[in-house]
């Protein structure tokens, strides 16, 4: 029984943590119809910059905001490559995430006070026991750390952060600027006719979505108590699968906002992975399970779309 609860604890935590990444993908993939691969780099950028600042004793919430800003800047680069240089979305993402590999490595090595002579030795940033992460400072520190099998403090903190970012996005999408972003995703010509630059709107969207990815990176680093250079791998599948599962599984429920569906999708996806682990599937199979789940979600959402167009 206790292992069931531990399994729940894991997927709730991971689901909430990755839901912010999924919200980012909701903006780029669902709203803007832009397959943004730069996220692999920006998640790590968020994780690395947050960890560095926290290790230096900076307030962790400020570090989260810095992570958001840096992620947004990377998103701007992706957007500018696409809008100004007319490079295809997939390639823009590959270019930016490739460049970010170096950026992250340099940041981590230099931040750790290392030089480039002993290569890679210091590329992982680990928190010590006393480093003030978001979990160890006010206000999260007021919550009891554990109740039974649950890491209560971590769950509640991540839930609150996820909800805050969801509410910010909900609010934004109802502003004039947000509505323009949604219009850009479905009809660029229409945005041009409104005397607005659709390119600017796209860049804004990509900046926000990559900012969200970087915040997810900060939470992942908090939860794992380190930021290592492999952190970004697999983030695209996790984010996209969460969005697609969320929107196709809960799409019929009109009273839910799409942002809520995406968060639920992220939790469902992590639950599937956690259950596989619980059933004793070795963790080496994790990525193949992820790919299979993603495929199932894609097929499922396609069949729903077909059904809708027939009706």
The set of long-range contacts for 165-168, using a CB threshold of 8 Å and a minimum separation of 24, is: 165/20, 165/23, 165/212, 165/215, 166/19, 166/23, 166/259, 166/260, 166/263
Single out the residue of 98, 115, 147, 187 in contact with other proteins (rule: CB under 8 A). Answer: 187
171 versus 285: smaller Cβ distance to other proteins: 171
Check residue 125 and report its DSSP letter. Answer: E
CA angle 152, 156, 157 (to 5 degrees): 115
195 versus 279: smaller Cβ distance to other proteins: 195
How many Å is the Cα radius of gyration of the chain?
19
- Is 254 near other proteins (CB under 8 A)? no
Q: Where are the alpha helices (DSSP H) in 227-285?
A: 235-250, 258-278
Single out the residue of 186, 253, 291, 292 in contact with other proteins (rule: CB under 8 A). Answer: 186
Q: Which span (15-23, 61-69, 137-145, 183-191) binds other proteins, by CB under 8 A?
A: 183-191
Please give the residues from 189 up to 218 whose contact with other proteins meets the rule CB under 8 A: 189-198
- Is 85 near other proteins (CB under 8 A)? no
- Is 310 near other proteins (CB under 8 A)? no
196 versus 226: smaller Cβ distance to other proteins: 196
Q: How many CB atoms lie within 10 A of CB 206?
A: 33
174 versus 287: smaller Cβ distance to other proteins: 174
* Minimal distance, residue 178 CB to other proteins, in Å: 7
- Is 175 near other proteins (CB under 8 A)? yes
- Is 176 near other proteins (CB under 8 A)? yes
* Minimal distance, residue 156 CB to other proteins, in Å: 29
- Is 115 near other proteins (CB under 8 A)? no
Range 284-300 burial, b when 16+ CB lie within 10 A, else e: eeeeebbeebbeebeee
Please give the residues from 4 up to 63 whose contact with other proteins meets the rule CB under 8 A: none
* Minimal distance, residue 177 CB to other proteins, in Å: 5
- Is 305 near other proteins (CB under 8 A)? no
Half-sphere exposure of 102 (CA within 13 A, CB side): 4
* Minimal distance, residue 190 CB to other proteins, in Å: 5
* Minimal distance, residue 202 CB to other proteins, in Å: 13
Helix (H) or strand (E) holding 311: none
Q: Lay out the site mask for other proteins across 155-174 (x = CB under 8 A, - = otherwise).
A: -----------------x-x
Q: Which two tokens stand for residue 2?
A: 């206790």
Q: What is the DSSP string of 197-233?
A: -HHHHHHHHHHHHHHHHHHHHHHHHHHHTEE-TTTTT
Single out the residue of 7, 159, 183, 275 in contact with other proteins (rule: CB under 8 A). Answer: 183
Is the torsion defined by CA of 12, 14, 19, 25 positive or negative?
A: negative
Q: How many CB atoms lie within 10 A of CB 95?
A: 18
For residues 152 and 158, is the Cβ–Cβ distance under 8 A? no
* Minimal distance, residue 264 CB to other proteins, in Å: 21
Applying CB under 8 A, which residues contact other proteins? 172, 174-180, 182-183, 185-187, 189-198
């Amino acid at each position: 029984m206790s292992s069931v609860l531990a399994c729940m604890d894991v997927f709730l935590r991971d689901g909430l943590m990755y839901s912010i990444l999924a919200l980012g993908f909701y903006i780029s993939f669902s709203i803007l119809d832009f397959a943004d691969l730069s996220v692999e780099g920006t998640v790590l950028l968020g994780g690395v910059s947050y960890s560095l600042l926290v290790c230096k004793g900076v307030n962790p919430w400020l570090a989260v905001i810095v992570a958001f800003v840096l992620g947004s800047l990377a998103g701007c680069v992706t957007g500018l490559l696409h809008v100004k240089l007319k490079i295809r979305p997939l390639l823009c993402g590959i270019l930016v995430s490739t460049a970010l590999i170096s950026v992250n490595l340099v940041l981590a090595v230099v931040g750790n006070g290392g030089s480039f002579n002993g290569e890679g030795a210091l590329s992982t940033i680990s928190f010590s026991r006393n480093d003030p992460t978001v979990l160890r400072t006010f206000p999260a520190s007021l919550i009891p750390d554990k109740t039974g099998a649950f890491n209560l403090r971590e769950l509640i903190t991540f839930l609150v952060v996820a909800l805050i970012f969801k509410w910010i996005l909900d609010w934004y999408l109802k502003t004039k600027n947000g509505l323009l972003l949604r219009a850009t995703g479905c009809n660029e010509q229409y945005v041009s006719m409104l005397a607005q630059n659709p390119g600017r709107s796209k860049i804004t969207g990509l900046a926000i979505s990559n900012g969200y990815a970087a915040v997810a990176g900060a939470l992942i680093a908090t939860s794992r108590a380190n930021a290592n250079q492999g952190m970004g791998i697999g983030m695209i599948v996790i984010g996209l699968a969460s969005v697609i599962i969320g929107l196709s599984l809960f799409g019929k429920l009109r009273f839910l906002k799409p942002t809520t569906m995406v968060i639920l999708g992220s939790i469902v996806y992590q639950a599937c992975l956690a259950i596989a682990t619980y059933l004793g599937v070795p963790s080496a199979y994790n990525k193949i399970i992820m790919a299979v789940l993603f495929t199932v979600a894609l097929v499922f959402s396609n069949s729903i779309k077909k059904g809708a167009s027939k009706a």
